[in-house]
Every structure is written in C-alpha cells, then in structure tokens.
C-alpha cells in the first residue's frame, strides 16, 4: 500500500467519526431514484407545473459545498450531469438535535462522497434550478479526494489534462472531465448505429474464437500463450476474418462481429495492442458493392453521432456525405509523387523508394515496398474520406485477383484524416490460389517478415467445400471513434488503454 497523503489520513479519521456516530459509511441498501439532474433541468425549464407536489429522489457525488451558517448549498453530480442542492439545517434536522447538520453534513461529508437525497425542485433568487433537500443519506464514503477542477459560472476552465492521470485512472477522469464522458457516450452511439444498420439488412451478429490455434486474417505479429490441459500453443486473434468466412461456407449470407483483436506491435497515438474491429462478410457481393455500403453506413454514423455529415477533426472539417473520392493505388501514388510505379519490378521499386527517401529493408517484398511508398507520400495527405482501390497482388494474400487488371487484386481501403479507416476485399474463394498465396507468405516469413501470414489447412479445407463470391469488410471502431469525437489519441477513446504497470511500493 502506498503512503497516505495528509488528506487521505483526515478522511480515514472522518470515517471513524461517522462510525462512532452510528452512521454506516457503506450501507447495504437500495436507494430508489426517480429523476436525474438532466431530466430535472430540461423538464422544469419547460414546465414548472410538472414538479408541483412531486418529491424528487436523486443520488450522486457531492462535488462542492458552500456552508452558510444554518443553510448551505452543494452541487450533486449524477450520471447525467450536475444540479444544485439547498440544505436548510432546521428542515434537515427538525428536532432539537442538530448534530446531523452541524457535524455530519458540515464536517464529515466530503467532496466526492455519494449521497442520496429527497426533496422538491425550486428556483433560487438568482434563477438557478435547485433541489430543496428534505432528507440526505450517506451512501458511500470517498477516501481519496478528487482533483480540484476550477469552475466559473457553471463552466469548467481548468479540467485535468494530465494524460498519465486521465488514462491510468479513467474513473477519476470521467468524474472531473465531462468531455471525456461524452466521448464514450458517442462511441456507444457509433457502435449502436452500425449495429442498427447491419441488423436492418438482416445480417447475423456472431461470435468467433479469441484464442486460436492458428492466427490469421491479417499481416501482424500475435500474442502467444500456452494451454496447459491440451499442452499446445494458442494465439490471441489478430483478426476474425477466416472464421467469419467459414460461416459463409456454412451457408450464412451475411455475418458480422464486433471483435476484440490483439497485435503484439508498436504503440502510438493510433495503435493500441488491444483494439476493436467490426468485420462483415456478405455472400454474392463484391468490393464495388461494399464501397457503396461503407459510404452509406459511415454517413449514417456521422449523422447519428453528431447530427451532421460534417465533423470537426483538429483543424479540418471532414465531410462524410456521399460520394467519396476514389483512386486506384497506382493513381494515388502518381498523383502525389509524380512517379508511375505500375509497371516496376522489385529492383526498380527499391531504387524508386530510395529516390523518394522511403526507408525499406531486405525483408520487404514488392508489395511491402509499394505499401511503404504509399504510407510515406500519399496517406498523410488524404484528409477527406477517400477510397484507395486495386492493390498489388503481393499486398493482399486473401483478396481475389482483379477481374480486368493482371497483377492486382480487388481490394479497397478507406483513408480518412491520414489514416486507414477500413479495409475490404472481393474475397478470394479459389482454394488452389489461396494455398499458393499462403505458401508465398510462408516464404516471406522465412526471409524475416514477422507479419507474414501462416498457412491454415482447416481454412483451406473449408474453401474446398466451396465459398460463394463474397465481399468482406473490416472497419476500425477505435479510429472511427477518434474521428467522430475529434480525439487526438486512440487512448482518448479506450476506457482503459494499455500502459506500463505502476509501482505501488
């Protein structure tokens, strides 16, 4: 246990005093609530008569107190917001014994304590909607003081911004930074919007394994563990693609999953080792059809979350209104570098990368080099939502060969605010071609590529039973949340981002 601060020592002494007065600081009971701070503020503003004769029962944290002799004001914060309380000593303690007000409320109830109160709504002389407290009960004692946040005229102007505190102690951040809470409310709206859209099309939401004997479905390095009973290695999934496609083989026409995926890679403002994707697979469709779906779905998400297709992201206003701009990958590279790489072999690509000052190494094949050129010179310049289509075959071992353009595959990525938002293929359903692609990935792994895919015999067997033409999509929920909430870091949209462990000694 860490050494207690002076404030924490005082609060523990307060705890003892409450117990000596016969007050349980952690009572085991239900406190019935019939209203919230937000509902009271909105309804009372519209119709004061709605609260005539109504007894309000509300609970939350005490966030501030102003002791004024025989009467006091306090601010209570519940899950919906804040509301002012008016506490009269003579009404709270109608009998001769004023101990509860003079000792308990004034001295022993601290900021951050949870209380349950009953009373009625009124307006103060200054016009502020408040609750006149008729009874007050301590529901939970706070032994650590919340950070002090300066407030003026009801507005926070010195909210806690220290990322170490905000990310590591999210429970504190959510209490003192209303903007943080709003981010996560919007994130839930975003997920619900996507789910509503897909359910309306009668696609089936499913669950697939997180612990997998063979990782696959993406180019990434996995986390590895060991199952003792089976005495075998297992991997946290890097993607759920191959399992969802097995379900298409099994006869479903449309399946999707909000999946927690894990990649044992670097961390930065757009990468966390644990992240959320929504993957969708629809039979008898292709990547052209999927582009139209993505435009329609994300436009809906923007409206559902923010009420408009235009979203402020940093210094940019991003507009998700359809249609979005479309480039092939080679067109985009030529547009932003002036170099046409469409007919280059690996040796020529290496020279071009050198000329464009793009760092590559000996483990990279043709596809990786093209990806590095694109990532260095094109992606950072794509702010408005843009589809990049028709990737080189070497970059996409799970995508179907392009129907008209040899050496390419039917794949697109949507890029927005200089980062990949989603990835989609006309899915490869030729088991012979898929085996060859896996074998090529194995060779890249032998060259030192730690992100190369491995060969999955069971998935190949599934394809041999036959998979219909299928369009697949993976969309990053965390990155989409960053954009829709104007958040700079992925850590801002994860309740509990990965961080180095604290030292408590």
> Which position has the token pair 């670097």?
266
Q: Which CATH superfamily is domain 6-146 in?
A: Nucleic acid-binding proteins (2.40.50.140)
pLDDT in tens, 41-62: 999 999 999 999 899 999 999 9
Average pLDDT over residues 453-463: 93
Same fold, 6-146 and 180-324+384-493: no
How far is Cα 128 from Cα 86, in angstroms, rounded to an integer? 11
Predicted local distance difference test score (pLDDT) of residue 93: 86
List beta partners, residue 232.
Answer: 227
Classified as helix, coil or strand, 468 is: coil
pLDDT, position 446: 82
pLDDT at 442 (0 to 100): 86
The pLDDT value recorded for residue 158 is 47
Q: How far is CA 36 from CA 60, 77, 78, 271, 459, in A?
A: 9, 9, 7, 37, 52
Q: How many residues does the chain have?
A: 505
Q: What is the mean pLDDT of residues 385-401?
A: 92
Burial class (CB in 10 A: 0-12, 13-18, 19+), 495: middle
Report the alpha-carbon angle 41-43-48, nearest 5: 100
Strands 386-392, 325-328: parallel, antiparallel or unpaired by DSSP?
Answer: parallel
pLDDT band at 505, cuts 50/70/90? low
186-232: per-residue pLDDT in tens?
Answer: 999 999 999 999 999 999 999 999 999 999 888 889 999 999 999 99
Encode pLDDT of 413-447 as tens digits.
999 999 999 999 999 999 999 999 899 888 878 88
Q: What is the largest CA-CA distance in the chain?
A: 94
Sign of the alpha-carbon dihedral angle for 142, 148, 153, 157:
negative
Task: Tell me the average pLDDT across 171-189.
Answer: 95
Q: Nearest CA to 382 among 413, 424, 342, 340?
A: 413
Domain ranges of the chain: 6-146, 180-324+384-493
SS (HEC) of 225-289:
EEECCCCEEEEECCCCHHHHHHHHHCCCCEEEEEEEEECCCCCECCECCEEEEEEEEEECCCHHH
String of DSSP letters for 302-344: HHHHHSSSEEEETTEEEE-PSPPEEEEHHHHHHHHHS---TT-
pLDDT higher than 90, residue 273? yes
Which CATH code for domain 180-324+384-493?
3.30.930.10
What is the arithmetic mean of pLDDT over 326-334? 96
Query: Which of the four pLDDT bands, split at 50, 70 and 90, describes residue 150?
Result: low
Q: Give me the percent of the chain exceeding a pLDDT of 90.
A: 81
Model confidence at 285: pLDDT above 70: yes
Which candidate, 366, 286, 381, 370, places its Cα nearest to that of 329?
A: 370
Q: How far is CA 451 from CA 238, 368, 414, 422, 427, in A?
A: 11, 11, 22, 19, 20
Is residue 266 exposed (0-12), middle (13-18) or buried (19+ Cβ within 10 Å)?
exposed
Residue that the structure tokens 């041999």 belong to: 464
State the average pLDDT for the chain.
93
Element of type H or E holding 211: strand 211-212
List CB contacts of 188: < 8 A, sequence separation 6 or more.
none
In a 13 Å sphere around the CA of 291, the CA atoms on its Cβ side amount to 22
């Amino acid at each position: 246990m860490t050494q207690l601060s002076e404030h924490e020592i005082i609060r523990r002494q307060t705890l003892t005093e409450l117990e000596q007065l016969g007050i349980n600081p952690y009572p085991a009971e239900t406190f019935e609530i019939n209203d919230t701070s937000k509902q009271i503020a909105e309804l009372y503003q519209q119709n004061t008569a709605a609260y005539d004769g109504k007894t309000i029962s509300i609970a939350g944290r005490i966030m501030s107190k102003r002791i004024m002799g025989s009467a006091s004001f306090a601010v209570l914060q519940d899950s919906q917001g804040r509301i002012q309380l008016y506490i009269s000593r003579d009404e709270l303690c109608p009998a001769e014994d004023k101990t509860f007000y003079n000792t308990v409320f004034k001295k022993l109830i601290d900021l951050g304590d949870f209380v349950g109160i009953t009373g009625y709504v009124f307006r103060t002389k200054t016009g502020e909607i408040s609750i006149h407290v008729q009874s007050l009960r301590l529901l939970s004692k706070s032994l650590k003081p919340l950070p002090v946040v300066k407030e003026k005229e009801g507005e926070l102007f010195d909210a806690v911004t220290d990322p170490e505190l905000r990310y590591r102690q999210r429970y504190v951040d959510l209490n003192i930074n209303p903007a943080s809470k709003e981010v996560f409310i919007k994130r839930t709206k975003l997920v619900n919007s996507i789910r509503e859209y897909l359910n309306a099309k009668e696609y089936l939401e499913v669950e697939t394994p997180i612990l997998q004997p063979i990782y696959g479905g993406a180019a990434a390095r996995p986390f590895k563990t060991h199952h003792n009973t089976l005495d075998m290695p297992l991997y946290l999934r890097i993607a759920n693609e191959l399992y969802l496609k097995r379900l298409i083989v099994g006869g479903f026409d449309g399946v999707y999953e909000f999946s927690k995926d894990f990649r044992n890679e670097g961390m930065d403002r757009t990468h966390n080792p644990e992240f959320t994707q929504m993957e969708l697979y629809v039979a008898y469709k292709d990547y052209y059809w999927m582009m139209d779906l993505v435009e329609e779905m994300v436009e809906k998400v923007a409206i559902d979350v923010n009420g408009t297709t235009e979203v402020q992201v940093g210094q940019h206003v991003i507009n998700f209104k359809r249609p979005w701009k479309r480039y092939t990958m080679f067109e985009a590279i030529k547009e932003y570098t002036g170099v046409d790489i469409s007919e280059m072999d690996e040796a020529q690509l290496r020279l071009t990368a050198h000329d464009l000052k793009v760092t590559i190494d000996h483990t990279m094949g043709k596809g990786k080099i093209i990806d590095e050129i694109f990532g260095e010179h094109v992606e950072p310049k794509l702010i408005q939502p843009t589809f990049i289509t028709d990737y080189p075959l070497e970059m996409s071992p799970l995508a179907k060969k392009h129907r008209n353009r040899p050496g390419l595959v039917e794949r697109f990525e949507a890029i927005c605010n200089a980062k990949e938002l989603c990835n989609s293929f006309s899915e490869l359903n030729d088991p012979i071609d898929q085996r060859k692609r896996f074998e090529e990935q194995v060779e890249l792994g032998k060259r030192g590529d730690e992100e190369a895919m491995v060969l999955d015999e069971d998935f190949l067997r599934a394809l041999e039973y036959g998979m219909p033409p299928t369009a697949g999509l993976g969309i990053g929920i965390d990155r989409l949340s960053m954009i829709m909430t104007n958040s700079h870091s992925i850590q801002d949209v994860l309740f509990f981002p990965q961080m180095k462990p604290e030292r408590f000694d």
